[in-house]
Amino acid sequence: MMPGAAKGLRILVLLTDAYGGHGGIAAYNRDVLGALCADPDVAEVVALPRLAALPLGPLPAKLTFDLAALGGGPRYLSAVVKHLSARGGFDLVYCAHLNLIPVARLAAAIARAPMILAVYGIDAWEPHPRLMVRKTAGSADHVLSISQVTLDRFRGWQSYPDASCSLMPNAIHLEQFGIGPKNADLLAQYGLAGRKVLMTFGRLAGSERYKGFDAVLDAMPELVREMPDIVYVIAGDGSDRERLEQKARDMGMAGHVVFTGMVDEADKAELYRLADVYVMPSQGEGFGFVLLEAMACGVPTIASTADGGREALRNGLLGLLVDPENPIEIIDAVRASFDRPRGIPEGLEYFSFPQFSRRLRTVVHAVIDRARGG
């Protein structure tokens, strides 16, 4: 048991999605729930998602994942009230997204419990468009931020002292990845055999053009002149795919750009292993979990100096950093990375799930103890 901790803790988690969800926030939330449920001092975690798709997959012991909260704001609020009215009470309210903080603030007040707010990325960088979110965004007892850049941007419009803030970067489950050969079937499927493969993985959303796909496409003509066998694999899908495909055609790069479409979680490691270099010169990533995944497969990796990507690469310790607005830097980094050997960089263990769990539990117990006057 952690010093000062009381057994039988009950934690209420308000979140957008986790089990049955896709993307970085859902994966992060699954890790949070898994770490909380594995804490021997926790008796139950009640999680209320706004979104979920079936099947959910296996759930941790001690987790109540209540799908009654699905279906819109009124149903969500009703589910929150139902759990707050049940016997037992809660020792902590964990708000897993800034959009949910008005409800989390109300829940914490009713439960007479402290509240932790988690912030991830660009959604927390500027004052929120919703008045109630802006009014309650400064009411958490503690803020967990996925990166320093996100925390700095958030504190630019909400005042929190250093003692009420902690960094909680993504976790990587290293056992799910690892170095391996390129899958022959996938090489044939995407026409990559014998080619130098550059890759970026992410959602192709018109609202998320900050991920850097355009910056890499803009560098491709020069890269092709130097390396005629290079191909850029854009992994993922979304509303911006058609525009990106047309851009590649307009640039005369259609033969050097491959779009994979949606990739199942179970197939991600095999996909990363197709890459010789992973590149993401983004400008709005809160962290950049895909960078950890690529490195965990031994792929030389390039990230941005302009956002949380630099923290995923530990300020250049684990890979190369570039100015996303400087095409020469991108080209030079790609060229240099093709000469780097495969290998999982020393220091990636910093982001391992056991380390994540330890950090999270330390903060959770400290917040609860402080609220109890401990």
* Interval 124-161: pLDDT, tens: 999 999 999 999 999 999 999 999 999 999 999 999 99
pTM, two decimals, is 0.90
The residue assigned the tokens 């982001």 is 351
Structure tokens at 99: 């959009």
Q: Name the 3-class secondary structure at 85.
A: helix
Report yes or no on 3 lying in a domain.
Answer: no
Q: How many domains does the chain have?
A: 2
Is pLDDT above 60 for 4? no
Residues 54 and 157 in one domain: yes
Residues 16 and 106 in one domain: yes
For 163, the domain range is: 9-171+352-371
Q: Name the 3-class secondary structure at 230.
A: strand
Q: How many residues does the chain have?
A: 374
Residues 165 and 222 in one domain: no
CATH number at residue 311: 3.40.50.2000
Residues 211 and 144 in one domain: no
Residues 158 and 21 in one domain: yes
> What is the spatial distance between Cα 142 and Cα 366, in angstroms, rounded to a whole number?
10
> What is the spatial distance between Cα 322 and Cα 368, in angstroms, rounded to a whole number?
41
What one-letter code names the amino acid at 68? A
- Collect contacts of 254-260 with beta carbons under 8 A, ≥24 apart: 256/220, 256/224, 256/230, 256/231, 256/232, 257/217, 257/220, 257/231, 257/232, 257/233, 258/190, 258/191, 258/192, 258/231, 258/232, 258/233, 258/234, 259/234, 260/190, 260/233, 260/234, 260/235, 260/236
Report yes or no on 63 lying in a domain.
Answer: yes
pLDDT digits (tens, 9 = 90+) for 306-333: 999 999 999 999 999 999 999 999 999 9
